[in-house]
Amino acid sequence: KAGVTQTPRYLIKTRGQQVTLSCSPISGHRSVSWYQQTPGQGLQFLFEYFSETQRNKGNFPGRFSGRQFSNSRSEMNVSTLELGDSALYLCASSSTDGTDTQYFGPGTRLTVL
Amino acid sequence: QKEVEQDPGPLSVPEGAIVSLNCTYSNSAFQYFMWYRQYSRKGPELLMYTYSSGNKEDGRFTAQVDKSSKYISLFIRDSQPSDSATYLCATQSGGSNYKLTFGKGTLLTVNP
């Protein structure tokens, strides 16, 4: 099976812009989670989607949003970018078969100038 | 207090050494425990997954969970230069909550 894919892999934006990141889960996986990874804070949970519904949400401002499509692909959007949003954004998919094991994609490296 | 504490290292060992990596956690609700390995510029890769207390072995890797002391360990036997990476512990409360809570990671270097 193909792994989790994320596009784009690298992105450079300026303050105030918005950005959309995409994630395609492992085939058959219906849960998609998003994480932000920074050197200072480590990996932090953003939100999780299952069957197009957001089930869990982390402690991030409303500028961070996401959605999931009927084919389980997911997007996350960050509006009004700030310098502090520079990070590696990781997507993880889970099989929801009881093991709940999450498999990560390679991430999107976002740089905000 | 952070929910999951992990010594960031860095940790440097000679090839063939036994490596011990540790985390502590504070939330008694955590039921699932994982170790991920992350190479530079890559996403985390699942190494070990355990439920509740006990040991789990997979090749050169052994994961231990002691819920009474809220302590998680990963042991790497016969360490190899290819094991050089950042190791992240993670916990999850389970049920419909898919949120993983991570330690900050320990940077390990295995020297040939």
Question: pLDDT (tens digit, 9 = 90+) per residue, B9-48?
Answer: 899 999 999 999 999 999 888 888 999 999 998 999 999 9
User: What is the predicted pLDDT for the residue at A19?
Assistant: 98
Amino acid in position A20? T
So what's the pLDDT on residue A58? 92
Task: Give yes or no for A87 touching B (CB within 8 A).
Answer: no
Q: Is A60 on the interface with B (CB under 8 A)?
A: no
CB contacts < 8 A, A to B, total: 58
In this predicted structure, what is the pLDDT of residue B31?
87
- Model confidence at A37, pLDDT cuts 50, 70, 90, reads very high
Q: What is the pLDDT of residue A1?
A: 67
* Min distance A65 CA to chain B CA atoms (Å): 16
**Res. A98: pLDDT tops 60:** no
Give the helix ranges, DSSP H, for A24-91. none
Residue B58 has pLDDT above 90, yes or no: yes
Distance from CA of B43 to the nearest CA of A (A): 4
CB B88 within 8 A of CB B105: yes
Query: DSSP assignment of A54-72, as one string?
Result: EEEE-S--TTEEEEE-TTS
- Confidence bin at A97 (pLDDT 50/70/90): low
